[in-house]
Amino acid sequence: MKTQRFILTYTGRGTMPTTDLAFLNEHIPVLDHSRRSLLVEDAPEHIRHLLRSMPRWQCRPERMYQPLRQAGSLIALPAVRRVVIMVVVLSLFSSFPLSCIN
């Protein structure tokens, strides 16, 4: 059985019960936890089997996201750089009309 990482979220009121936490710790490896969620790693079938008797828990696969690019890197693109330069130049011309020059 191939193992995967899952987020188990307690959907009941308050924090997760200590009895549920102890039961899950006995049967599946808990990698991390918060007040209402657990990060676990095990076979999907085994986790679903355990959660059948625990209706207040939801299971979803862990998702990894790529970090966002820095906002400054957008200006580094050539097309965007041209537009930025054109807007700056046009704003300078509109701020200082040619009629001011003798």
pLDDT digit string, tens, across residues 6-56: 999 999 998 888 999 999 999 999 999 998 999 999 999 999 999 999 999
* 74: pLDDT strictly greater than 60: no
Q: Which domains does the chain have, with CATH numbers?
A: 4-61 (3.30.70)
CA distances in angstroms from 35 to 3, 6, 26, 99, listed in the order given:
24, 16, 19, 68
**What single letter denotes the amino acid at residue 64?**
M
pTM of the model: 0.62
The predicted structure's pLDDT at residue 99: 58
What's the rounded Cα separation, in Å, for the pair 102 and 84? Answer: 30
Which tokens belong to 84?
Answer: 């930025």
73 φ/ψ angles, rounded to the nearest 5 degrees:
-70, -20
Residue 74 makes CB contacts below 8 A (sequence gap 6+) with 80
